[in-house]
Structure 1
Amino acid sequence: MTRVRLDVAYDGTDFSGWAAQPERRTVAGVLCAALDRLLGPGAATGLTVAGRTDAGVHATGQVCHVDLPDDAWERLAPTLVRRLAALLPADARVTTAAAVPADFDARFSATFRRYEYRVTDVPYGALPLARHDTLAWPRPLDLAALNAAAEGLLGEHDFAAYCKRKENATTIRAISRLDWRRDPDGILVATVQADAFCQAMVRSLVGAMLAAGDGRRPVDWPAALLTRRERSSEVTVAPAHGLTLVAVGYPADPVEYARRAELTRRLRG
């Protein structure tokens, strides 16, 4: 078998998230269906994703891996991306496919995940072509206040106030980047990067920062919630459609894939 890294992009509007679910349309579901049609049922095995996005969340830089029979990979490698484009629906695309070492793990070898959240505060809301990936906010937002709120959330903390807790799972995470910018078109974009995220964590952080950005909360309020040891009911989770997974990082040296995966598994444990 050959392990193949697939870089994937999708419009999450009509998907019930990444993970395959019975009777629901998911990104993993349509990708597996396309691989089955191309290679035969069950020929592609071990589909593993860097980060399972929720319903409505988009991706331009998602990464997954799959194991393909050696002969199938040798035969299809030059044309796999084009063939998958013909089989996948218009709202999902595999942008690159490349053979990787067998110890590459799309989930555990990752060093970071980077998301962006797009918001507009203009009076008329999101433009029609941006309505699926940009949140229309009903109040003016102050960029300096947003960045002041973001600064207090940087670093390693227990983000229990911002996470949906899972049994026997830690809510301690290390955020290495969190900042806001206003693009020339007026769109406000939050960039957040961490080694990993809890479920709904990014959207909860955005919801808290927006409350500070429009003046309803002081700029130190989001950071003050880090003292909580359970999910805060005061935090409004921002809608899914403004969120996009834009990049997943991996060690530059493939020799480090296995070491990183071992470290990540140990940390999760």
Structure 2
Amino acid sequence: MSESGAQATRRLALRIQYLGGGFYGWQWQPGQRTVQQCLEAAIEKIQRQPVRCSAAGRTDTGVHASAQVVHFDTEKRLVPETWRRALNAVLPEDIAVQDAAWVPPDWHARFSALWREYRYCIYNSTVPDLFVRSTSWYYPYSTLDERAMASALDTLKGQHDFRAFRRAGSNRSHSLVRIDEVECRRAGQLITVRVRANSFLYGMMRLLVGALAEVATGRWSVQRFAELWQSGNREAIKYAAPPQGLCLVGVGYPVDPFRTNETVTSRCDTGQEPSQTILNESGF
């Protein structure tokens, strides 16, 4: 306790889920319902003080998260489990806190992260399934070739300039991204595209999936896909996949603040099998 009698602040990390359909993205926007606004309002109800949260990924309007990580500073002396239960009691039904943990004062949800992982879900069938429609792109027009999509994804691995998959409006000074892992697989009518990278450009995943759909229908060859993004031809990447199919499913740190050296299961709630990621001291 300081000389003034005030409690010293501590930093708390949260792992949260949210269904993005009811939000205008993560970040505060005047007059709009956002995840950050709702989470901060819930924290303020508990600690009776203003708060500002930082997130590992600033998801866009309509995008979901099954493993978003955020942090905030607080003087409130509650154990992490009590924070988790208290927040879930006052949060709206489309946000849930999965884990809470104290972290060092210099730890940052965004800047301490080694990687983020997004998964995009496409429901490729002539018959809609209402139970996955809010968390996937319903694509009834033709049968998509997931093997061609996988081949196109393989051209992305490594560090490259991905300006072709960058929406206008970003203030980032460069378009360099290191993509570490990619995957495309089909389970029945559901196709999932998974990408793990050190960071993502503004709108990158939705533009990428829109371009992959061109490959999957046969309109583009894998070679043309690679040539377009490698040349930085943003004009050729015309269509972004809709937001509801996208989900932030993991964030990696040098040491997982929630379950160090344990298996963490995350799932985009669209019916596919869960993915398991070991978060150890290397972050993988």
TM tier, shorter chain? 0.7 to 0.9
Which residue does the alignment assign to 2:189? Answer: 186
Which residue does the alignment assign to 2:225? Answer: 222
Q: Give the 3-state SS of the residue equivalent to 1:224 in structure 2.
A: helix
Which residue does the alignment assign to 1:119? Answer: 122
TM-score w.r.t. structure 2 length? 0.83
The yes-or-no answer on 1:159 pairing with 2:162 is yes
Which residue does the alignment assign to 2:55? Answer: 49
Which residue does the alignment assign to 2:204? Answer: 201
Question: Contact 1:162 / 1:235 at 8 angstroms: preserved in 2?
Answer: no
Question: Contact 1:34 / 1:88 at 8 angstroms: preserved in 2?
Answer: yes
Equivalent pairs, count? 247
From the two aligned structures, give the one with the greater helix fraction.
1
Q: Alignment RMSD, CA only?
A: 1.6
Which residue does the alignment assign to 2:40? Answer: 32
Q: 1:177 to 1:240 in 2, by over 3 A?
A: same
TM-score w.r.t. structure 1 length? 0.87
What are the ranges of 5 or more consecutive residues in structure 2 without an aligned counterpart?
A: 1-8, 258-284
| Amino acid in the other structure paired with 2:206 | R
Distance 1:198 1:242 in 2: 17
Q: Match for 2:131 among 120, 129, 132? A: 129
Deviation of 1:77 (Å): 3.2
Question: Contact 1:149 / 1:221 at 8 angstroms: preserved in 2?
Answer: no
Which residue does the alignment assign to 1:102? Answer: 105
- Per-residue CA deviation, residues 94-130 of structure 1 (Å, 9 max, x unaligned), is 11111011111100000000000000111113x1111
| Amino acid in the other structure paired with 1:66 | F
Q: Match for 1:92 among 72, 84, 95? A: 95
Counterpart mapping for 1:255-266 below 5 A: none
Identity %: 36
Q: Give the 3-state SS of the residue equivalent to 1:129 in structure 2.
A: coil
Which residue does the alignment assign to 2:173? Answer: 169
What are the ranges of 5 or more consecutive residues in structure 1 without an aligned counterpart?
A: 255-269
| Amino acid in the other structure paired with 2:203 | A
Q: Give the 3-state SS of the residue equivalent to 1:132 in structure 2.
A: helix
Distance 1:222 1:98 in 2: 43
Greater relative contact order, per chain length (Cα 8 Å cut-off, separation 6+): 1
